[in-house]
Every structure is written in structure tokens, then in C-alpha cells.
Structure 1
């Protein structure tokens, strides 16, 4: 357990950088069409082992979020710092995903094409179809049990348990969560997940027979993609220059 002297303060340099990165990811998601009103949330843990994490505030469009708008909550989802309120479902879902799933970054969206797949019997992405989809081979889970809004801790814990440690979780009749160890890597996955889902939905809409590759090949492509994440980092830096 960390002592109080080792806790990172909300206004310390490392936390301010995380706050800036979180705000950048939110604004980028808005630009890429992944946002929905003032709903959905991104969160990232502080790197001090306390379980505290940063979260976007209630009531702001993702396109307007700046570093100073982010808030900090504890492992139970209680707000600790920040000038804005926090939306209840964010605290229940994200606190559980960090605590139970052990995921430093949790990005939850209702982005259109990924959500469209959660409304079907397929339930999620076929990771043997497009090259973009193959990067997620062996990394996804589908939680088909929609149980209404996550307005209590038990529902957040149920979702986190159903995720089973997967990096990508398709939430039936709801949306998707993308998790990762780093914010730049997680955002890159979020972006390409939606691109892969878009390609699958468009291909399905043609009514033509789909042509998946061998799962062994899909697994190899996933290893190739994850074996070198410089492209993910360069993408995030490009967003920092342009968003």
C-alpha cells in the first residue's frame, strides 16, 4: 500500500500529463465520430498503485473537454478532485473494470458500427475477416446479457466479470469497451475497432457470402500488430498536433 507521501497529486506533473492525454483522446474520438451526446466515458488509472483514476466529467461534449475538466475518483468510484460532477454509471462501470479487470485504461463508447454488431445474433466482431479485425483476434469478449443502465455497483461488477480480462468487450444491445495498459495504445485500438466493425457491417449489408481467413493466420496478424506498437504511438502524437 502506498503511503500518503507517495500519492500523486491531482496537479502534479505526471497527473497533469495524463489529464491532457485523456482530454486529447476524448476530443479525437469526437472528431472521429465515436461520441454520443454527453454520454459515455474514458478513464485512465494513476500510476501510483492506489486504484485512483481520471475520468471525463458529466455534461460536457467530448469535443470541448480540456485537461482541467477531467476529474479524479477512487477505486470505489467516489469523486476525489475536479470542478465537475461525475455521471453515476461511469463510476460503477469504470471502477469495476479497473478494480476487477485490472485494466489501466478503459474506453467506453456507443460508437455506431461496433454498437450495430451488438444488436445482432453475431454479437460482435468477426476477427477473421478484415486485416483491421485480425489485430483483435483472441482479444475480444461478448457480454450478451443486457440488464439496463448500470446504476449500481453490482451491475458494474457483473460487466467486469463477464469481460474476463479481454481487451475488447461487446456489450449486448449497448455498446463496446476497449481496454489497455496505455492510453495511446487503447485509443488506437478503439479507432481501428470501429473501422473493422464498419467494414463488417458494410460487407454483411451486401448480402454476399463473407470470406474469412484461417484463424491461424488471423492470430499471426494479431501477433504482428501487437508486437510493435510504434504506429499506435505515432498516431496519438499526430492527433496531439492536429486535434
Structure 2
């Protein structure tokens, strides 16, 4: 006998446990179709689905048209397709800082930051929301802490963490631009990558610049952020199919 929407609504934890296997089977089917979701991300995706979509599913479900289980699986497939495509784009812009920290340390210019510039950097960062400052400092500066660990500490999924990091980086670019810490062309690159969601290749085409110029502009903003946080190059870098190597 099909479980009623009222019962599912009353016990969301039980609902989650009962539906999780069928939703993971949806992900397996999508992976065979080319929408590959790593096993470690699959449960995060199911969790996000319940947090953001479940109330709407219960409102729109009509038992006359089929079971809630089937309805949820169909809705989850649409949700997962959209989410996986979005994750591909995120990962082109956002990679683990620890993986690339050595490259950043080798490539950045050494030497002390002038006191006047450092003061302006600190003022710009101090103008950010406290949550943005905390997130950026934790992600760039916490040694040995994985992305999953940071997400767990903050009570969110890695997908949500990545979203919030990208939004924080976009606000950093605005803060730097408002204080004249970066030239207009660097600000435009940062806005296009972190604010608009374009890859470095796409930004190069949109701005009529070379990929290398776009990468260098982006890196200047990230190096400036590292100096402001005092993290010695522990930066978050992005790659676009090897173009940044």
C-alpha cells in the first residue's frame, strides 16, 4: 500500500531513510547517461534535495496520479541533472586550496606588503560580512582541513559550501574594486568568474582577451586576498581543462 503524503510529512527522517536507496539508484542511472556523480557527493545531493525541494513536492503531489515514491524520484532526477551540470561549472572555478598551494607559493611574488596597501586590504576585508570573512579565512588558512570537514563544521553540504565560497569571492572583488585595490580590468575578470559563473575560457571570449591575460588577472586578485589574510599564498585556484598550467 502506498504511503500517504501526510505520513511522509510527519516523519521526515524516516522518509529520508526509505527514499534514499531509490534516489541513489536515480543517480546511478544518470551516471550511466554521462551525468557522473562521485559516490561521496551522492548523499550530499540527496540531502540537498530534501532540504530545498521536499516541501514543494508534498504541496504538489497528487496521489491520484501515482505513488509519492515515483513522484519524488522523477523530481529528484530533474533536480540532479541541473545540480550536476552546475557542479561541473563550479569545479572549473573552485578547487581545493591544498592541492594547489605549492604552485601558488612558487609563483607568487615574495616580499613584504607595503604598510599602506596592507591597511587598505584589511579595511576592505573588514567591510565584508562577518560570515564571509570567517569562511574565507577558514578555507584559505586552516591547515589540513578538508572541504568536507569545513562543510561539516558549518552544518552544510559541500555543494552549499562551494556556493557560499564563490559568493564570498565575488564580494571580495567588489570590495577591492571599490577601494581601488585592483584595476578595472581585474575587477571585470573577477566579476565574470565568481559573480557571473563563467570559466576563464568563456571570460576571455566575452572580454576579447587571451586566456592567459584572464588567468593572470584572476591570480592577481587571489594573491591580493592572500596578502590581506596573511596566509602566505594558501590560495584557492581554478583550472580550466589545463589552461592554467
Q: Give the TM-score normalised by structure 1.
A: 0.25
More helix per residue: 1 or 2? 2
Q: Quick check: which has more Rg, 1 or 2?
A: 2
Which structure has more relative contact order (CA 8 Å, sep 6+)? It is 2
Q: Give the TM-score normalised by structure 2.
A: 0.25
